[in-house]
Chains A and B, each alone.
Chain A
């Protein structure tokens, strides 16, 4: 077990016990909650992974998480790893902050909060203040607490989007002088206007627009995550391995355009 897991376990233990201590007394508090997954999305996901020979067991939440954990192990190092992990994460709800405790599904905890990183997360600051007030039998100011939780959840999302955007910028920068080069990739997303390809080595993602697919007119099947040629029947599906050529890079828009190179 890597040592960061040692630290993680004790942080989880602290967060969980703090949440439980206050939660069981039904006093206003800040929880880190995670809702149950969306079962429609999960069954789509289940259908999709079956074509790779994988399956998940959705009969109850323990068998679901066991089979998902098994799946994550099985796909490790395979070309479809990223796509399957991404889809699995998308089928899950996002963890957020709330004063209404619904438990943390992903961690399988009935009570959970963030207590351990007040330097870099404001919800932990709120948790510290509330807990300390309760320890001294004081009544803390809990006005607008739910609104504050919403604000923190929103900011957390924005920070994630900004981080992703900065990575996209670096990817575009990296490929800027590699226009015309050919790379191995995996189809990482399919839309009516084309499909996204993630390069194997650099994990850079770019778009192969349908207009560059000259051999046929393509039809989009959202539920099968694929585009299919009307005449040829040719299919481009999420998870397929493809060779692509970098055709254009727009650094300002952080966009990478690709063409099939077969």
Chain B
């Protein structure tokens, strides 16, 4: 009876053949093979099959997956079957490692995580590829921790206290020795730093950094969410003090170097409950029939100088955070609600984008400039909307023209292929003033 070979299936699926070849290398990460040995291992005997296998070997070498260790002999390029990559834990508790060394993600079962956490950079040892064809391995070393602080609830059992992590992606409860509880009690939410992971132990050991409050209390839970994502809840006293020391003054130098827009019709349009007005529009008709339109932006960097603790803090925050029931601002109140808030009838410094535009909304000139402005009027969205719809009200002429120009700009954008995704994340409304960022 002739020996059954795999040649019949050949060529139907180069992909399958390629993963078969890779399987041989992963099973023997330190060995070298030539195309004949590979062909034999995979059960291909026909010369045509062998030619294709040789061709695939060359392609894999070119792609950097294999290397030609000696003439005609190939070897896995990743050192000794170990690859370095980023761990991503799924909701089931199992994980995948993405590595630049491999085109395919490596599956790591929960029991083989070996104390690695979601987001960690890990070294994975690859297993022999099974028939399922899924590349699998186990974590042998955590190279870099993505984070060391976690949020969860304290549970005490006898002499032991554990922190049960909030995140489903943290697979281990954290043991807290009684001298590292910092007074945290049963059912309290805490921020914990992992300090050690003794060999062979089931759980990492950590200490409480901050007691956030009673679990299930709204305020505690919101703080817990911020801590979970590495976001601060409030400014330190030092930063507040530094911000409060910033003076509001208009010097002769400022007046000399800044373009004066105080006489131009200027207004802000924001949601009714907005506190920080960081942009204003000015609109003037020029003698040549065109328009001068100013987009005035609060001049934050006039007040917040580089390499100050305040600037460092703002950089660390990088953004204001809008939780469902509160805002954590990037800047202290002194700046966002006062110095840099373009409130009506107050002289304010701006960094402005100034355009000359015609009736077709074509930009004839554009110039950025530092300015001083004074907003004449603050409009809530609803008020401005009414002016657009009725054609009547303060600055009706200016607002109507701006609206006309905006419409032209908008349709031009869509014609050029812009998306119109005003995607609402979730429609859950309480007293939700969360802002949406579509750009």
Q: Which residues of A contact B (CB under 8 A)?
A: 1-15, 17-18, 21, 32, 61-62, 64-66, 68-69, 72, 85-86, 88-89, 92, 95, 106-109, 112, 114-125, 128-129, 131-132, 135, 141, 148, 151-152, 154-156, 158-167, 169-171, 173-174, 191-193, 202-204, 251-254
B229 adjacent to A159 (CB under 8 Å):
yes
A14 adjacent to B426 (CB under 8 Å):
no
Question: Which among A85, A119, A125 has the highest number of chain B CB atoms within 10 Å?
Answer: A119
B319 adjacent to A7 (CB under 8 Å):
no
B426 adjacent to A159 (CB under 8 Å):
no
Determine how close the nearest CB of chain B comes to the CB of A223; give it in whole angstroms: 16
Cross-chain contact of A166 among B166, B222, B278, B439 (Cβ < 8 A): B222
Determine how close the nearest CB of chain A comes to the CB of B398; give it in whole angstroms: 11
Ranked nearest first, the 8 interchain pairs of A and B with the lowest CB-CB distance are A155-B318, A14-B353, A120-B320, A9-B406, A118-B300, A62-B417, A166-B323, A14-B295
Residue total for B at the interface (Cβ-Cβ under 8 A): 87
| B residues near A191, Cβ cutoff 8 Å | 91-92
A118 adjacent to B301 (CB under 8 Å):
yes
13 A–B contacts from the bound complex (CB under 8 Å): A1-B403, A18-B353, A62-B417, A64-B417, A116-B295, A118-B278, A122-B317, A154-B318, A159-B320, A160-B425, A162-B225, A163-B323, A169-B324
| B residues near A72, Cβ cutoff 8 Å | 420-421
A108 adjacent to B418 (CB under 8 Å):
yes
B351 adjacent to A132 (CB under 8 Å):
yes
B216 at the interface (CB under 8 A from A): yes
A120 adjacent to B319 (CB under 8 Å):
yes
A65-B417, A162-B321 known; A169+B221 contact, CB < 8 A: yes
Q: Knowing that A118-B301, A120-B331, A167-B425 are A-B contacts, what are 8 other residue pairs whose CB atoms are under 8 Å apart, sorted by A's residue number?
A: A9-B409, A18-B368, A65-B417, A89-B421, A92-B421, A117-B279, A119-B341, A159-B321
| B residues near A171, Cβ cutoff 8 Å | 426, 428
**In the complex, chain B residues 307-331 whose Cβ is within 8 Å of any chain A Cβ:** 311, 314-315, 317-325, 329-331
B406 adjacent to A119 (CB under 8 Å):
no
| B residues near A125, Cβ cutoff 8 Å | 300-301, 304, 311, 314-315
Q: List the A residue with the shortest CB-CB distance to B339.
A: A119
> A21–B365 Cα gap in the complex (Å)?
11
A119 adjacent to B336 (CB under 8 Å):
yes
Binary per-residue interface labels of chain B (284-305) against chain A in the complex, 1 for a CB within 8 Å, 0 otherwise: 0000000001010111110010
Q: List the B residue with the shortest CB-CB distance to A118.
A: B300
Instruction: Tell me the dominant secondary structure on chain B's binding face.
Output: mixed
B406 adjacent to A129 (CB under 8 Å):
no
| A residues near B402, Cβ cutoff 8 Å | 6, 10
A203 adjacent to B226 (CB under 8 Å):
no
B428 adjacent to A204 (CB under 8 Å):
yes
> A164–B353 Cα gap in the complex (Å)?
34
> A64–B428 Cα gap in the complex (Å)?
30
| B residues near A21, Cβ cutoff 8 Å | 366, 368
Question: Which among A12, A122, A148 has the highest number of chain B CB atoms within 10 Å?
Answer: A122
| B residues near A114, Cβ cutoff 8 Å | 439
Determine how close the nearest CB of chain A comes to the CB of B357; give it in whole angstroms: 9
> A113–B158 Cα gap in the complex (Å)?
57
B106 at the interface (CB under 8 A from A): no
> A155–B231 Cα gap in the complex (Å)?
8
Determine how close the nearest CB of chain B comes to the CB of A70; give it in whole angstroms: 10
A119-B298, A191-B91 known; A5+B340 contact, CB < 8 A: no
| B residues near A12, Cβ cutoff 8 Å | 409, 413, 439
A17 adjacent to B363 (CB under 8 Å):
yes
Cross-chain contact of A129 among B225, B301, B421 (Cβ < 8 A): B301
> A112–B399 Cα gap in the complex (Å)?
26
A3 adjacent to B229 (CB under 8 Å):
no
Stretch from B10-18, B57-65, B121-129, B381-389 at the A interface? B381-389
B430 at the interface (CB under 8 A from A): yes
Binary per-residue interface labels of chain B (215-247) against chain A in the complex, 1 for a CB within 8 Å, 0 otherwise: 110100110011011110000000000000000
| B residues near A128, Cβ cutoff 8 Å | 297, 299-301, 351
> A139–B218 Cα gap in the complex (Å)?
48
A155 adjacent to B306 (CB under 8 Å):
no
B384 adjacent to A3 (CB under 8 Å):
yes
Determine how close the nearest CB of chain A comes to the CB of B368; give it in whole angstroms: 6
**In the complex, chain B residues 191-226 whose Cβ is within 8 Å of any chain A Cβ:** 215-216, 218, 221-222, 225-226
Q: List the A residue with the shortest CB-CB distance to B306.
A: A129
A122 adjacent to B92 (CB under 8 Å):
no
| A residues near B341, Cβ cutoff 8 Å | 119
Q: List the B residue with the shortest CB-CB distance to A7.
A: B269
Determine how close the nearest CB of chain B comes to the CB of A209; give it in whole angstroms: 11
Determine how close the nearest CB of chain B comes to the CB of A142; give it in whole angstroms: 12
B261 at the interface (CB under 8 A from A): no
B56 at the interface (CB under 8 A from A): no
Cross-chain contact of B406 among A1, A32, A204 (Cβ < 8 A): A1
| A residues near B231, Cβ cutoff 8 Å | 155, 158-159, 162
B172 at the interface (CB under 8 A from A): no
| B residues near A165, Cβ cutoff 8 Å | 225, 228-229
